Structure 1
Amino acid sequence: MMSEESEPMRHVDLGSPLEPPASDQWFPSPPPPIYSCTLTPELVAKALEELQEKPEWRLRDVQALRDMVLKEQPNLRTRLDDAFLLRFLRARKFDYDRAMQLLLNYHSSRRAWPEVFHDLKPSTVKHVLDLGFLTVLPHPDPDGRYILCLRPGKWKANDYPFEDNIRAIYLTLEKLIQPEDTQVNGIVILADYTGVGLSQASNPGPFLAKKVVSILQDSFPIRIKAVNIINEPRIFKGIFALIKPFLKEKMAERYILHGSDMRSLHSHIPQSVLPAEYGGVAGHLDMTAWSKILLDSEEEFVVEFCQPDPLEGVVLPDSMMFEGEQTGSGGQDDDSFRGLRSQLYYCY
């Protein structure tokens, strides 16, 4: 059994002046090949309480999931190292069957959406990063959760395909999930809808919206603890109506609409970690630091994603969420899209 006395990962001292740190100082390096627990004693206790993760059983549980994969899906091309499998166990509170299903969903999503997952690496989304569509704030909140900041209004439908935004978000999530802290604490999303108009609101449509939600809810091993929406326009009612049918009740409850009320936002995300643009004290929003972190990780993503189809020769269970999504014309989605588009025009 690995010792819990390993040196904890570095954290930002929120009591010090909050100058944005250099990109190579504030985000941890990738985990080593051989697993060694990096959780602080406090996070070990939190993982036990919230995720049913018992330190003395941790590697036994990983081996149990590994054995399930080897027995039930021997042809699946997937990583089987401790650090990787732990992400799925933690995301499903150490329920072996649900963790296995999540792992299969994780891989099946690549086949279901080749426009997003083909040749997926940071250099292919540099234009998205340069536009300022997303970043990760350099200071986690007091609960240790990194904050993914999205600005949909920066994107216009004629700039590039909507799928490129999803590629950038997915790569960011892949990087964020590497530290064990994130696997236990989860993340927070801050979505600033300043500048969002009808052209953005009517994209991507119900079919793509369903895929995005399905990937985030059912196909990625990360805990999204809150989605804070600010500066939302009137047409956000239509946007939310587009995605809400696909959200699980627990996730829908985590969407918090603040409008332009920064005091409401500060009650959920403290000023100490927010940039000045949102009434915070942590300097101005820096769109380059996170971009550099991703671009410097190019080789990691080439190894992870630019390989043969992990599902080649794999027989998936009937319960697979993406099964059959590539067939048919999606008539029902088309009908719902027409109705929602009318609603968007009305709100606009």
Structure 2
Amino acid sequence: MEAIMSCNLDVTSVWVPGQEVTSGQRIKLMEEEQCLTNNGLFRDPAMESHDFSSSRNNYTCTLTPELIAKAREELQEKPEWRLRDVQALRDMILKEHPHLRTRIDDSFLLRFLRARKFDYDRSLKLLVNYYASRRSWPEVFKNLRPSNVKHVLDSGFLTVLSQPDPDGRFVLCLRPGKWRPNDYPFVDNIRAMYLTLEKLIQSEETQVNGIVILADYNGVGLSQASHLGPFLAKKVVGILQDGFPIRIKAVNVINEPRIFKGVFAIIKPFLKEKMAQRVVPPLGLPPRCLRCSSLLRRIQEIQSPDLFGFVNEFAYPFPQYRIPPGTEMDGHPHGG
């Protein structure tokens, strides 16, 4: 991570979603992407010799005392054993998956331990799934970089509220009704969402608190719903449940259209029971109850956004994105 810190880019004039891109901002964005490429954070043929084996054991905890206590209670994270647990996971990776090209630094591995409550075996499985999904779905992960999803964020399909809820959880807002199938393929929405999750999970606070998803189905019709089949639903749900180190604490649905029952029927078979129980409101709840959601009341307390439009703002400028390195599941030993 030392190389990342050396990218002293001026972020004050870089494009953020909703703004026109000037020539100067475009250059800044290109500089950011080139900087990330040079540091091995984007897949590039020149990076095939990058040393993924360095553990770079310079982790410094940034959690508040309150979050340390929360992590101990909810995630079984004991500060006095933290680095021991990280080393145990690192040893398992090197022993059981010696050809997996992955970062093994403390900060990176902690994401997976926290996501699986410091269960070594489950954390390792999550890490392997994280990289396996990249290889199995190249349409999503090929050339996955900020400039290639600008059009998605401009469309309003996805945003993150600028402030967390009272429980410290960032709110990822999805508005599938904003997507126009004739403008770009649905897979671009997945790319933008994945990139956003990568940014969110860099925060230790998010690793402990998790996130909530607020899905506004206003404007969703057959033109959008017809693109979500079982194959796509299975892959998306698979990544969110078993292939990414983030804790999704709730999925709140508002403006549920009549066709939502059909959409949910496609998704539900792939949801684990625990995740299905976190979808609020449960399928069949009368629409008049949607505005009573505790999450919506909390959001009103924070920012009072238009509940049917949300905040037209993205919480993170693109230059702050840091994409973990691409990988191959075999043929690239750690080396070093």
Answer whether TM exceeds 0.5 for this pair. yes
1:33 is displaced (CA, Å) by 7.9
Cα shift readout 1:275-316 (whole Å, capped 9, x = no counterpart): 43118xxxx8443433xx252235x33xx34x4x3313279x
Q: How many residues align?
A: 273
SS at match of 1:153: helix
Q: 1:96 aligns with which of 102, 108, 120?
A: 120
Give the whole-Å Cα distance in 2 for the aligned partners of 1:285 and 1:135.
Answer: 9
Give the whole-Å Cα distance in 2 for the aligned partners of 1:225 and 1:75.
Answer: 33
Whether 1:77 aligns to 2:105 is: no
Q: Is the 1:75–1:311 contact (alpha carbons within 8 Å) kept by the matching residues of 2?
A: yes
Give the unaligned 5+ runs of structure 1.
1-31, 316-348
Change (3 A) 1:277 1:46: same
Q: 1:144 aligns with which of 157, 168, 171?
A: 168
SS at match of 2:71: helix
Q: 1:68 aligns with which of 88, 92, 98?
A: 92
Cα shift readout 1:87-110 (whole Å, capped 9, x = no counterpart): 000111101011000000000000
Q: 1:264 aligns with which of 292, 315, 318?
A: 292
Give the whole-Å Cα distance in 2 for the aligned partners of 1:177 and 1:216.
Answer: 13
1:261 is displaced (CA, Å) by 4.5
Give the structure 1 partner of residue 320 of structure 2: 297
Report 1:63-212 matches (<5 A). 63-212=87-236
Report 1:305-320 matches (<5 A). 305=325, 307=326, 309-313=327-331
Give the unaligned 5+ runs of structure 2.
1-55
Moved over 6 A (4+): none
Q: Is the 1:76–1:310 contact (alpha carbons within 8 Å) kept by the matching residues of 2?
A: yes
1:264 is displaced (CA, Å) by 1.1
Q: Is the 2:228–2:263 contact (alpha carbons within 8 Å) kept by the matching residues of 1?
A: no
Cα shift readout 1:5-37 (whole Å, capped 9, x = no counterpart): xxxxxxxxxxxxxxxxxxxxxxxxxxx982111
Change (3 A) 1:219 1:82: same
Give the whole-Å Cα distance in 2 for the aligned partners of 1:57 and 1:212.
Answer: 34
Give the whole-Å Cα distance in 2 for the aligned partners of 1:33 and 1:131.
Answer: 41
Q: 2:271 aligns with which of 247, 265, 268?
A: 247
Cα shift readout 1:110-168 (whole Å, capped 9, x = no counterpart): 01100001111111000001111111001111110000011100002211111000000
Give the whole-Å Cα distance in 2 for the aligned partners of 1:79 and 1:109.
Answer: 16
Query: TM-score normalized by structure 2?
Result: 0.77
Give the structure 2 partner of residue 34 of structure 1: 58
